Structure formats: structure tokens, C-alpha cells
Structure 1
């Protein structure tokens, strides 16, 4: 790992810098060598920008009194030992990758807060009967390869075999991308943590929605994460000359896709409180202005806090698209790429976190269901999970306008400190009962 002096740093704090410095560090990571694009933020997994980000975060981790390492999936991990060597860890984390034209706080803010909180205890020389670890996951967004949360899946032990055939839009395989960064595909599953190594996973994250701002609350507690489906829909018509092909004889794949997208929106609106359906990416071939489109592929993202509602919506969408494609003489396929079940957060952890919010803010914690997916929903396969949401301006995310108030992030920092102290008290009490 690089020495801390190799990268951007701030003056040493006589007291923990907390939320303000967490925001400042996210701002640093939002531009320059930490992005693949000069005028906006785009940091896909295993890119040059991701490499530079890991190196910078490693430096900050080591400045904070933690040891830093990269696991075999390319995640950056910082560890602060407990009172006993090789003690299991309370893992705090989020992701470092981004969507294209991203905001600066979705993901990295949770990692930066984790570093701040652990540094707070390191400065005071406080250790717990468990280790504290901070992890920055390499792939949560799925902005490079077709499956999201790829590296948290590896850590959670959900990838017993390396995904050898996976490739990005440029035809670069995961194997080649890993090799270019000094990793080996066959070692990818070895990022898995053993059962018992992680006693809990705690993810701070911006809300990515408007509820906390509407209710004037700086933070909230997540009770569950919504179920998700992601499909790839492919429509195949017949390409033809735009000037000579009569409108009545066309098998226009793009026109069919346009109608399909409106059908998907209509179905998504049918249950406004519990369901969302989104077409977020579309590819048209041959893509020439004077050619009737012959092939179209687009994604469909379906989410609901209730799995049965999500499942019914997927069935309705499939039937609607099948009918309209038959009517338009266009062939149709709808392939499931991702199936994430609804994930309840651990009730005991959520209770402790809610009490910490009330202790710090003086008000009862606002409890929310997350419509967005997070690494926590994958990590639940490894350990109990909980999540803290932080207010973001107008609920905007996945957008350069994404913004937070340093005072809200400072509140989150104080809540996290209180939560870890409370969790430690409960942990010690349980250990005494076992003894």
C-alpha cells in the first residue's frame, strides 16, 4: 500500500474530524484522476479511476490508524484490531464505484464515514472485544459488468466459482479486467469471508429519496431493502431502407420498444406506493438515421418492498410485451439478469441503531424501507445487517446535483459512534452470558 504522503491529505485533527472531513474527502474523489471522464464523475470497477481511488482511500485508512489491504476481488479493506488478535469484525462499508455522470456521495460517503468513526476510536486508544473493519466495495452499481454488487457477492460467499464468461460492453472479460489490475480470476471467490469472521455489517448511505428532507430529519434507519428484478429485453424486427419501406409493412423494433416502454411505465404506476419499473438503458441497431431499426435491446428494472407485487408486475410486463410484439410481427425475449429478494435488516441491530438516533437527535428515529439496492442486501447472507440513511438534497441521486449538508453527515457520524459503543455493551453482555 502507498504511504499516506503520496496522496491528498488534510492537516491532522486534534479532535476527530467526523462528518465535515467525510464530505470533503468525497468531494476530492469526485473529480480528477478519480473519474474516467474529465467533466463528470464516472468510476466503473477495475478502471484506472477506480485504481487511483483505492490507492487514495488506502492512504486515508492508514492515516486513521488502520491497516489496509485489497482482497482478491479488488475491494479495499481497513482493519482496527480488537482487544484480542484475530477477533471477529464489525464491518462498516459501502461502495466506491459509480454510475455514469454520478453524484459524489452515493457509496463513498459511507466508506468515508466508516474511516472517520474507526479513526475516532483509534485516536482515543479505545478497542472493543471485536475488530472494526471498513470496506469499500469495488462493484455495487453494475456500471461495467452486467451483474451489480459483484464484489460484495464475492465477500458474502455467494460466488463459489469465478464468473468466467462475464464481459463488459467493450467485450473485455472480467478475467482480462482483473488481470490488468494484477488480480487472478480463479482467486476471485477467495474474497469470501468465513462464517463467524464478520459479526455484523453496518452500511451508512445517503437516502437517495426525499422522505427525510420532507420530514426535516437528518438521518433515518432502514428496516428493509426492496426486492429487485433486472431483465434484458431483446426485440428483433427487420431492418430496411427508411425511404422505400412502407409504414404498413415495417417490422420496426424501435417503434415496438417505444410502445413497450410505455406499457412498462403504465404497469409500474398501477401500484404507486409499492412498485417502480424503469427502463434505464436502450441500444438500437443498426442505429443509422436512414434505416428502419431492426434490433433493440433494453433493460427493465422492477422493484417493490413486497416480493409478490414485484413478481406480479414482472408477469404483467412479460405478457404485455409478448402481445404487442406479436401484433407488430417482432420477435421478443425477456431474460432475467438479476433477482434480489427483499432483505429485512436485523431487528436487534435496527433497534440499537434507532436508540442511537434518538440519543443523538433527541427525536424518535424515522424508519424507512429502501427502494434502492445496497451491498447490505447481499451481505445479509454472511451476517446480520443494518443501515443508516443520511438526508440528501431533494432526494436526488445518480446525478451530479446530488448534495448533502455537512451538519447532517456530522449527525450520522455521532450516531455511528454511539451505535458502536452501544453494540459493544450488548456484545459484552452476551459474551458474559455465554461464559
Structure 2
């Protein structure tokens, strides 16, 4: 690991070892699954608390289950607003070891180095292990960061998990009071800025042989579920020109989405679900279900694409004589990362002898929620395996962890609000 100082090499090694150790806390043998407020989720929270305390931090767990460690400012700056960092420690089902977890483990290791040196800053540093981001157990996302930002939607407390337990009851059983969630909101004046370290979850840095990158914005997203109603018929007796084939209608819609969202930087479109209920090999499909997910760094680019897709769906369905019902399931605007924080991150990368690469995040992150109370920024770290994430094959290297720790440390050491 050429030109990486010894303390960051230690950080890189520790981060990777702790990612392995944290992955032991899983609900399913042979895979990493850790969902909100399960016993293994509590065990992971306890482990994070112990590592934070060992790094010289004051640790608490708030009423949403977030694990919060504070590294105090120098004595003459005890009233200063905090530089806040962190990410989530829940996972998707059969997920990877670094998604979310990296953004907690890395700052804790960096703080441990400063603590050993007796070094303090003109601001406190808060590291938050957000208890829930993925939305797996209760089908509601960003619960931990929304609680901190004061935007927690309490209607989701009635959501049920697969066993029929409500979020409200599960929180109470864990010793948390869902009726006091409003009190968790951090005042904007208490947060100088937020920085989230996260694996890229994509292939750009890998393909360009770069270990880190500066996120410009978290892409906005629009999602729909669609249902198509054609007419079922015998595969051998209905002439091609008379068919009202719902599956082929969905396929044509999917191809248009692919075409419309290609060749435009930052715009992506996906049909992740395409189903034929009760389909059979010898039956012309009379119905189909499909999903649409359109994302872009700039909201107007996304909204223009959504408008075009909806118009084309109407044309395709009219031509094929197939009925369509579209239901919007999600709408979120783009969240730009603060320009002054991007500049400071880029300077930190350059100071480490690397070229700064700016790129958008197509995936959602806790920083989206924290943007309600503070300027936010993100440092992306390279993934291996083609950028795969949310999967056991998600990987990163110890060297990249060390480089990211060095960049993060430079950012903090030179941070200005």
C-alpha cells in the first residue's frame, strides 16, 4: 500500500476485521440478514457501542434504536455544532458486509487514532449507526435517519412484519417508546454538516481504477406498479394479429423504458418486476404486472422521462388493445450534496495524491433524510466484483479502506463549516 501512512493502514485492517465480526450478527445461517430490532440487530448495536466506547466516545442509544457515539470537542469548543457522520447497520436479506456498515466502522477507527494521539477538534464529532435504512422488516425506509431529522412518519408504526407484529409493538418490546419519537429530532443548529462514507454500489470507480469518489447528488426516483389487462387465449388458435397479449405489451413497455433512459448521463430506468399471473406455456397471457423505477441526478431530467414513459405506455396499450392501470408507489426528489463540502472532500482526495472523481449516487442513503437539517456530503469507496452490492459477493479491499480512512481524516482535520 504505497504512500499510505501507517495509522491509516491500521484503520484499513481494523475496518475489514470488524466488518467480518459484525457480519456474525445475522438472522439466517449462511447469509447476512439483519433487520430492524431483531435480537441480532440488538447484538450488532451492542458491538458497535463497545467499539465506539473503546475509541474514546461517549455512547448512547436513542429511542429509535440508533447507536450514537460522540467524540467531544476541545474544551474551549464544547458548545460548537457537531460534524456528524455515520450510516446504517441493518441489511437487506442475504446482503453484503460493507453496505452501510463501512460508514460507521471507518469513522470509529479514525477517531480511535485521534484518541490515541490525544487530539481534539474545534467541534465534536458524532458517529451515528442508523438503526434502519433498508426497509426490509416493516416496508418503511430510512427510519433511523428520519427520526434524527425530525421527519419520521408515525403512520408506519402500524406496519406489520411477516409475523404480524406491528412496528409500534416491537419498539415497545425493545424498551423504546414510539410515542416519543418526535423528541429525537436534532436541531439544525446542532449540526455543522453531515458526511456519509459508503461503498459506491456500482462499477464506475472500479472501471476507472479509482479508490474513492465525491458524490455530487443522490438521485431522485419515481416508481410505479402497473397492471395490464388483455385477453387470454389458446396459444395455437389465436392469430398473431388478433392477440391482446399482456406479456408482450409489458415487454414492449420495458424496451421503451430502456431506450428512453439510455444515453443520458445520470438517467436510469428499470423494469425490475414483470409477472404473468397463472401463466402457462400454451396460453396467450391475458394479464401482467410490472414495475417501473426511473432515477436521475437532476429532477427535471427524471420528470421528463417519466412523462414520456407514461405517454408511450398509453400509445402502446391503445395500439395493442390492452387496458392499463398505473399506481405511483414512490416519489423522491434529488438531494444535492453541498458544493462547499464537495470541494473539501475533493481537496482531501488530492492531498492524498489521488484525482478527485465526481459522480452521482443512484441509490438512496441516510444522507437524503439528514439533508432536512444540514448540508450533506458523501464519500464513495470502490466496490469489487463489477460493483455488485446488496449481495454476498459485495467486496472491497483493505487498501481501499485505508485510503478512504486517510481521505476522511484529511477532510475532518481541515473541515470548515
* Length-normalised TM-score, structure 2: 0.85
**Hey, what does 1:100 align to over in structure 2?**
93
Q: In the alignment, does 2:389 pair up with 1:397?
A: yes
Q: In the alignment, does 2:36 pair up with 1:45?
A: yes
Residue correspondence of structure 1 range 16-415 to structure 2 within 5 A: 17-30=10-23, 32=24, 34-82=25-73, 83=75, 84-85=77-78, 87-159=80-152, 161-168=154-161, 172-235=165-228, 256-269=249-262, 271-281=263-273, 285=277, 297-325=289-317, 331-360=323-352, 362-393=353-384, 394-415=386-407
**Hey, what does 1:8 align to over in structure 2?**
none
Distance 1:288 1:90, change over 3 A: farther
CA contact (8 A) 1:16 1:119 kept: no
How many residue pairs were aligned?
408
Q: Distance in 2 between matches of 1:348 and 1:261?
A: 39
CA contact (8 A) 2:266 2:360 kept: no
**How far apart are 1:168 and its partner, in Å?**
4.7
Q: Distance in 2 between matches of 1:380 and 1:150?
A: 14
**Hey, what does 2:3 align to over in structure 1?**
none
Q: Distance in 2 between matches of 1:80 and 1:152?
A: 19
Deviates more, 1:366-375 or 1:330-339: 330-339
**How far apart are 1:406 and its partner, in Å?**
0.6
Q: Deviations over 1:317-342 (max 9, x none)?
A: 32333444556666543333332222
CA contact (8 A) 1:111 1:136 kept: yes
**How far apart are 1:221 and its partner, in Å?**
1.4
Distance 1:178 1:258, change over 3 A: farther
Distance 1:320 1:101, change over 3 A: farther
**Hey, what does 1:431 align to over in structure 2?**
none
Q: Deviations over 1:380-424 (max 9, x none)?
A: 12111111111111322222221111111101111111111101x
Deviates more, 1:243-252 or 1:350-359: 243-252
Q: Distance in 1 between matches of 2:253 and 2:312?
A: 8
Structure 1 gaps, min length 5: 1-12, 428-435
Deviates more, 1:326-335 or 1:133-142: 326-335
Structure 2 gaps, min length 5: 1-5
CA contact (8 A) 1:286 1:294 kept: no
Distance 1:150 1:287, change over 3 A: farther
